[in-house]
A = this chain, B = another copy of it.
Amino acid sequence: MSKKKPLILVTNDDGINAKGLKSLIEIVRSFGDVIVVAPVEGQSGMSNAITVKVPLNLKTITSSNSITKLTSNGTPVDCVKLALNQVVERKPDLLVSGINHGSNSSISVVYSGTMGATIEGSLNGIPSIGFSLLDFAPDADFSVADKYAPKIIENVLQNGLPDYTCLNVNFPAVKLSSIKGIKICRQTKGRWQEEFDKRTDPHNREYYWLTGSFKNYEPDADDTDEWALKNNYVSIVPITVDLTSYTAMNHLKNWKL
């Protein structure tokens, strides 16, 4: 009895032409049939946003036996929803998102379009992995991902993932030979300290560009993703879609409400 090849849905937030997406397609095509639905343009920082004010389009770019590529004007989450509802003929066995140009470790998971798409996959019962490289450059070197992503994908295809759970994988931007291995981590406690670059336009109106620097609240905690990445490990943080703080529930039960 022949087993069907796995069906793999690929998306990202840097857009259909990003080098990281091309690298990811190359990585997953040996595992099964590949369908790509990705934003036509970059959608960084779009988190789990969905598009409700404007209609969405969906255009087929290429279609062959083993790879189909489509783009949409929507967010990464819209791309996943469109893919699952309008494109695939059966539920994908795996969703991969990325490879993002830039880190999605620690609190960046909350703002990331790459992880938004990944979370959407897990909500639909699909084992889902978001991949990011700690290098923003459009021509970043994805060799570390080429070597380590297949191991992770293999494990997820074989073992699945717990319900309502996806993976946030980050690769250090170092030479392949410097990588020490893969580490299962928790999300580092930290936040972006925002600074705004305030300017004045030719018509004398003020405007702001969002900039910022990351503040790590626990730089010495060796079970965190930030620590792992700084020490040349590939980090994997399992992410849950149940945002309930169960410890806070007890705290609140003493309130007079």
Contacts and interface: CB of A to CB of B under 8 A. Distances in A.
A48 B111 contact: yes
B110 A241 contact: yes
A78 B249 CA distance: 29
A253 interface: yes
A244 B245 CA distance: 11
A4 to B, nearest CB: 24
Interface size class of A (residues with CB under 8 A): 35 or more
B238 A50 contact: no
A46 interface: yes
Interface of A: 42, 44-53, 55-58, 77-78, 81-82, 84-86, 107, 109-111, 116, 119, 123-124, 151-152, 155, 159, 161-162, 164-165, 181-182, 184, 186-187, 189, 191, 194-196, 198-199, 205-210, 236-249, 251-253, 255-257
12 contacts: A47-B49, A48-B110, A56-B196, A56-B208, A57-B206, A82-B196, A151-B257, A162-B245, A184-B249, A186-B249, A189-B242, A238-B245
B208 A111 contact: no
Given A48-B111, A55-B209, A57-B205, 13 more contacts: A44-B52, A45-B50, A47-B49, A49-B49, A56-B210, A155-B255, A155-B257, A182-B257, A187-B244, A237-B244, A238-B251, A238-B252, A240-B248
A56 to B, nearest CB: 4
For the residues of A in contact with B, the DSSP-based class is: mixed
A191 B124 contact: yes
A244 B249 contact: no
Contacts of A51: 45, 210
Nearest to A44: B52
Contacts of A155: 255-257
Nearest to A115: B243
A248 B85 contact: no
A245 B168 CA distance: 11
